[in-house]
């Protein structure tokens, strides 16, 4: 059964906004060395694109967590499937996510990372669904706020499909 995907945010809009966020991050971290942490798999496309526009030196690390949800919603229970390769103590850390929905995944993850004593810890997300927030999460950089609809593309999947779309779309089941 094939779903239809309708464009919500075009390829050009996404690309332009990422360049803008990268400029803001470059300005904030000027003279410093940024350590970016991507939450797999969804954050990969955004983080790599964002990093290409940065004018500050940066390094990248990856983490994978499962949130025991069904296809469309996360449940709040989180397990670390793949931890970071490197310690973050004393580093300027920026967590890069695809989307913040209930906020449960990120509030858990940020608490865990705080315990590792980074010099600073900030959060950057391509998409935010503020209406859906259950856990309190402070977002430092947001690409776009979206309504409470299930979106795909630019890293976001529906049953592991559509991550590779260069735009943000809505799945029509």
* Residue ranges that bind ligand IMP, judged by CB under 6 A: 42, 67, 74, 97-106, 150-152, 156
Shortest distance in whole angstroms from residue 37 CB to Mg ion: 12
Is residue 118 part of the contact set for Mg ion (CB under 5 A)?
no
Is residue 42 part of the contact set for Mg ion (CB under 5 A)?
yes
Give burial (CB, 10 Å; 0-12/13-18/19+) of 11: middle
Binding piece for Mg ion, criterion CB under 5 A, among 23-31, 95-103, 143-151, 157-165: 95-103
Calpha distance 87→92 (Å, rounded): 12
Name 11's Cβ contacts closer than 8 Å, sequence gap at least 6.
Answer: 166, 167
Residue closer to ligand IMP, measured from CB, 88 or 152: 152
With beta carbons less than 8 A apart as the criterion, state whether 169 and 10 touch: no
123 binds, among Mg ion, ligand IMP, none (CB under 5 to 8 A by kind): none
Residue closer to Mg ion, measured from CB, 25 or 109: 109
Residue closer to ligand IMP, measured from CB, 92 or 97: 97
Calpha distance 35→57 (Å, rounded): 9
Q: Which residue in the shown chain puts its C-beta closest to Mg ion?
A: 42
Residue closer to Mg ion, measured from CB, 47 or 121: 47
The DSSP result for 92-135, as a single string, is EEEEEEEEESSSHHHHHHHHHHHTT--SEEEEEEEEE-GGG--S
Looking at the annotation, which residues are catalytic? 101
* Residues of the shown chain interacting with Mg ion in the complex, contacts defined by CB under 5 A: 42, 98
């Amino acid at each position: 059964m094939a779903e239809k995907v309708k464009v919500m945010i075009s390829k050009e809009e996404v690309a332009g906004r990422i360049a803008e966020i990268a400029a803001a991050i470059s300005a904030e971290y000027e003279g410093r060395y940024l350590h970016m942490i991507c939450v797999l798999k969804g954050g990969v496309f955004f983080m790599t694109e964002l990093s290409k526009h940065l004018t500050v030196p940066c390094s990248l690390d990856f983490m994978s967590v499962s949130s025991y949800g069904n296809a469309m919603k996360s449940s709040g229970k989180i397990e670390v499937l793949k931890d970071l390769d490197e310690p973050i103590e004393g580093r300027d850390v920026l967590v890069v996510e695809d989307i913040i929905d209930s906020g449960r995944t990120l509030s858990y993850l940020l608490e865990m990372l705080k315990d590792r004593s980074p010099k600073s810890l900030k959060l950057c997300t391509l998409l935010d669904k503020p209406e859906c927030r259950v856990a309190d999460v402070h977002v430092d950089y947001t690409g776009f706020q979206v309504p409470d609809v299930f979106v795909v593309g630019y890293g976001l999947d529906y049953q592991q499909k559509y991550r590779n779309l260069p735009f943000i779309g809505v799945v029509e089941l």
